[in-house]
Amino acid sequence: MKYSWRIILLFTANTLPLASIQANGSAVLLENSQVVQQPMLQVAQATGGDTYKWAIKPKEQPATAKPETSQKTTYFQRARSYATTPESDPPRYVRNMAKTEYPLFKDLHWLDFGVDHRTRFELRDGDIRRNNLLTDYPFLLRTRAYVGIKNILDPFRMAVEFQDSRGYNSEFPRDNRDWNPYELIQTYGELYFKDALGKDDLGNNRPIRIRGGRMAWEAVDRRLLGNNQWRNTTNNFEGFRVTFGQEANDWEFDAWGVQPVIRDIDDFDGRNKSQWFYGAIGHWRKWSEVITIQPYFMGLKQDHREGRQPERDIYSPAIRAYGVLPKTNIDFDLHTIYQFGRDNGLKKSAWSYLLEFGYTFKHDWKPRLSAFYGFVSGDRDPNDNVDNRFERFFGFARPWSPDDYIVMENIKAPKVVFEFSPHKDVSIDGGYSWFWLASDTDRFNNLLNISTPNPFNRDATGQSGDFIGQSINARVNYKLTPLVDTTIGYSHFMNGEFTKNRQMAALGESRNSSNFFYVEVSIRAFK
């Protein structure tokens, strides 16, 4: 009966009567206005899911009544940059039961609950990540359920999140990118002191939150720490996290020390006891209407396990700043990262810088056009004692390319992106990207690398060239019903000289291009 409590929880999560659950989201009644929640698909979310905008619908008032003046209630400003918004805490599919339309639940302010299922069909033709250039038609299924307890036992709070991930109809063996059945991706307890640090100038509490257990979360722009909403399985960790302040405050400080969880497709997951991932992030939002500043530090320590794996000790200070230029519609997102330490006996010296500028046109469709450039270092010389290959930690790859080919390592990537929303339930985005190796003597990580690594993704002589390829892509998000979101996407990748040369060396054949098409449907229990 070692896992009996887990089995009971998983059975309960899978037998919830989804069809009978209806809710109106998080509607709130104000004294002199009615707030209605309007779902709006947000293309900045790389998952294709929805966020929400809040529309204030004034109540009918006497003709003599004067309109009330709106006041600023939060310092937080979301970055407009493409696909960089972290997942919320708790996740977006979760609702507070007291804020549903059911009078039966009106007193359950202490209960957060949600259920979500996603099915995605993919067509991948000539996938450059694979060691076989065939056409694959996988179906990916992911089911999640979340239960959170707060307020009623304060300062103690807790949450449990279950996830079941499966993939079918693929020509390739199972791997933990697609498979991780019957898992608890979050099981944590928390001490929450809501006003331990007083209040900010807007009257928002400054809490302290101390969390311990199994956790999944995203930070900064998700490039170094993300739970990976696109992939069928989730990055998660076991350890401790302490947060001073909250998102609404003018400043916030978040620190953690955790061990990554190893996804096991045949058994329950367990933490990697030979590796620690730690860090701290500051958020300065006092001037957030112009700029938000995020200085941070992340580190990775891995022991050698008696010679069975490389010993690593990597330190990564960084700073990010984003905002909107005053009196303009021009937004910016600037990010620079440096890494040093020791990696498998070599001195570590790696770096990255990311630049994005966008312009939002004055139109009902809110069209935004943006230009991005990312540089991420690769190893310059395979024969020296310095490793220049950037360590991407546990980041989210999809902002780099929608086909999941590119990761944050040894890359130069200019990109142009367009986004617009012709209807409140429809969002469209697309772009054109170019990719070069930052170092032509280092590897292209994902080439020929899934699910069996292949050394042909690197040419230490540099004679295979440095041009990886270029990509054109588009995506449409449509809210079919209040509980059902749909996404259709397509990406055409044109192979560059490096990609074709390495395919020829490894497989004896190469392709000029590859195609990726997908249809995704997400169903939630609550609006």
pLDDT attached to residue 202? 96
Statement: residue 122 has pLDDT above 50: yes
Share of the chain above pLDDT 70, in %: 87
Distances (CA, A) of 255 to 190, 228, 281: 14, 20, 6
Name the nearest CA neighbour of 423 among 480, 489, 364. 364
Contact 155, 130 (CB under 8 A): no
The residue whose two tokens read 């990696």 is 343
Statement: residue 358 has pLDDT above 60: yes
Name the residue type at position 272. N
* Mean pLDDT of all residues in 112-135: 96
pLDDT attached to residue 30? 31
Q: Which residue has the higher pLDDT, 378 or 32?
A: 378
pLDDT band of 2, cuts 50, 70, 90: very low
Architecture of domain 95-524: Beta Barrel (2.40)
pLDDT attached to residue 48? 40
Which pLDDT tens digit goes with each residue over 207-244?
999 999 999 999 999 999 999 899 999 999 999 999 99
Statement: residue 36 has pLDDT above 50: no
Name the residue type at position 400. W
pLDDT attached to residue 70? 59
* DSSP-derived 3-state class of residue 485: strand
| Among 40-54, 365-379, 405-419, 448-462, the least confident range | 40-54
What is the average pLDDT value for the chain, to the nearest integer? 88
Please name the helix (run of DSSP H) or strand (run of DSSP E) that holds residue 498, with its range, or none. Answer: helix 497-507
pLDDT attached to residue 103? 86
Statement: residue 50 has pLDDT above 50: no
Dihedral angle computed from the Cα positions of residues 490, 496, 498 and 500, in that order, rounded to the nearest 10 degrees: 80
- Extract the tokens encoding 349: 């010296």
pLDDT attached to residue 268? 94
pLDDT attached to residue 450? 84
The length of the chain in residues reads 527
Which pLDDT tens digit goes with each residue over 419-451?
999 999 999 999 999 999 999 999 999 999 887
Statement: residue 259 has pLDDT above 60: yes
Statement: residue 491 has pLDDT above 80: yes
Contact 442, 379 (CB under 8 A): yes
Q: Which residues of 312-332 are buried (b: 16+ CB within 10 A; e: fewer)?
A: bebbbebebbbbbeeeeeebb
- Extract the tokens encoding 190: 């928390």
Contact 352, 376 (CB under 8 A): yes
Rounded to two decimals, the pTM is 0.85
Contact 317, 343 (CB under 8 A): no
